[in-house]
Amino acid sequence: MFLSVLRAGCIAAGALLSAAMPAHAGEPVSADLKSYLDDVLRAHPALKVADAEVAAAEARAQGLGRPVYNPEFGVGGEHGQSQSLEAGLSQTFDLSGKREARRASGQAELAIAIAERTEQRQRIATEVLKALADLYGQIAASSLAEQRLELLERFADVADRQYQAGDIGVLDRDLAALARAEAIAVTGRIELNLLKAQQALDAATRHPGYPPPALPDQLPESGRLNADYNALAAALPGVRAALARTEAARADIAIARSETRSDPTVGVRGGFQENRGGGSGGSLVGLELTIPLFLRNNFRAQVAAADAKASAASIESDASYRLAVARMKAAATQYGRTYTAWQRWSGLSSARIDASVELLDKVWRVREISTAEYLLQLRQLLDGRAAGAELRAQTWASWAEWLDASGLWQAWLDAAASSDSLNPTASSGK
């Protein structure tokens, strides 16, 4: 029953993806991002290996679809009281369905290779998108760290001059110096994180030094992540691969059963015989029929093993489908929450934070707050701005998780070619 539902979902996959994509597209996708991912996937060595594996599976499927038995030609002779020479031709006929069973197995293995290649493409695209989000998050963090360092260096210089003038005490001057030292350490740590993020992107793309594209300014909408998860899960390459493994295991049952049935061999031969004592000789014509007798081994154990393997594959396929549905729901929930958090944070714009920093500096200069209070409030403002950059990167990573879980990443990228399909107010149900 499950496999029937799964097959139906696979058949409807194309229509479902085209219908669901406008509801998930959100803001326009950068054409540079699409071309960047296309180039990465085209040159990625793992996908070249997957292409070779698909080609090998195609060749195996073609070979398994060929006839099982070839004709056999034989020549024999005898030298004794008489001399004879004969030649024969024999052919085994596939009456047990071996060729059809082997053909079905080859097609199922080809379907597995194709689905696994598609899954590999999706996995690599997801890793690259996550790495891009982390890289730009670290770039933003690095820029903010430089701004923090600049602010605190200026603050420390002012504090030092005020100390020299006797306006503040040594404790305030030392607090300013410590804040500058901390900013230097934070900047160094973030620069290291930026380097690691670039290395992670290079590892994901297998293309070091390839200039990364910019991510879209606005994050995709999260209001319409509800979809037919069952049908989307049925269309996922990982689920399709699990289904193909089940079909391959069932084909192995058919192969094992065909091995328990005998295939007859029919042969004809002809020649001549000559007596050395001068007697009459003559021509020879013969017909031969052989049938294997499965007395010592009836191959029933192989059938039982193949049946057990098919049962295990069916259980695994069912589990893969259910896990895909659960993962999709979790990814939708995760993105919805991070997107909501990002929207709430965006209400506090960086311009307002910058204005607050300037106001705080003025209040400190006129001695309305202490140096310790200034540093505490400045840290809160700067940490809030850094938290926003980190939240944006996390939200992009959550979007990549959703695209991977739903299988809609390619449709999302392809939607960049059409501005109409990227209308965030468009919906398949309207």
Q: What is the 3-state secondary structure (H, E, C) of the chain?
A: CHHHHHHHHHHCHHHHHHHHHHHHHCCCCCHHHHHHHHHHHHHCHHHHHHHHHHHHHHHHHHHHCCCCCCCEEEEEEEECCEEEEEEEEEEECCCCCHHHHHHHHHHHHHHHHHHHHHHHHHHHHHHHHHHHHHHHHHHHHHHHHHHHHHHHHHHHHHHHHHHHCCCCCHHHHHHHHHHHHHHHHHHHHHHHHHHHHHHHHHHHHCCCCCCCCCCCCCCCCCCCCCCCHHHHHHHCHHHHHHHHHHHHHHHHHHHHHHHCCCCCEEEEEEEEEEECCCCCCEEEEEEEEECCCCCCCCCHHHHHHHHHHHHHHHHHHHHHHHHHHHHHHHHHHHHHHHHHHHHHHHCCCHHHHHHHHHHHHHHHHCCCCCHHHHHHHHHHHHHHHHHHHHHHHHHHHHHHHHHHHHCCHHHHHHHHHCCHHHCCCCCCCC
pLDDT (mean) for 232-253: 91
**Higher-scoring residue by pLDDT: 304, 349:** 304
Mean pLDDT of the chain: 81
Q: What is the mean pLDDT of residues 409-414?
A: 80
On the question of pLDDT at 171 being above 60, the answer is yes
pLDDT (0 to 100) of residue 4: 44
User: Taking residues 127-148, what's their average pLDDT?
Assistant: 89
Highest-pLDDT range among 20-34, 147-161, 175-189, 206-220: 175-189
Q: Is residue 321's pLDDT more than 90?
A: yes
- Tell me the whole-structure pTM to 2 decimals: 0.75
Name the more confident of 272 and 421.
272
What is the arithmetic mean of pLDDT over 127-152?
Answer: 88
Residue 414: is its pLDDT beyond 80?
A: no
Model confidence at 14: pLDDT above 90: no
* pLDDT of 136 over the 50 cut: yes
Residue scoring higher pLDDT (214 or 28)? 214
Q: Does domain 2-292+299-417 have CATH number 3.40.50.2300?
A: no
**pLDDT in the model for residue 372:** 79
pLDDT at 420 over 90: no
What confidence score (pLDDT) does residue 354 get? 64
Once rounded to an integer, what is the mean pLDDT over residues 393-422?
75
User: What value does the mean pLDDT take over residues 263-280?
Assistant: 78
User: What pLDDT is stored for residue 3 in this prediction?
Assistant: 39
pLDDT on residue 378: 79
For 186-211, write each residue's pLDDT tens digit.
Answer: 899 999 999 999 999 999 998 887 88
Residue with the larger pLDDT of the pair 291 and 277: 291
Predicted pLDDT at 215: 81
Report the distance separating Cα 222 and Cα 219, nearest Å. Answer: 9
For the record, the structure tokens of 67 come out as 């006839």
Provide the pLDDT for residue 158: 82
Question: What percent of the chain is modeled with pLDDT above 90?
Answer: 30
- 108 confidence band (pLDDT: 50, 70, 90): very high
Closest CA to 115 of 8, 239, 232, 249: 239
Higher pLDDT pick, 26 / 335 = 335
Given this model, what pLDDT does residue 416 score? 52
For 19-35, what is the mean pLDDT?
Answer: 51
Q: Where are the domains of the chain?
A: 2-292+299-417
Q: Which of 77-86, 134-143, 171-180, 405-414 has the lowest mean pLDDT?
A: 77-86
Check whether 24 has a pLDDT greater than 70: no
Q: In which band, very low, low, confident or very high, does the pLDDT at 353 lie, cut at 50, 70 and 90?
A: low
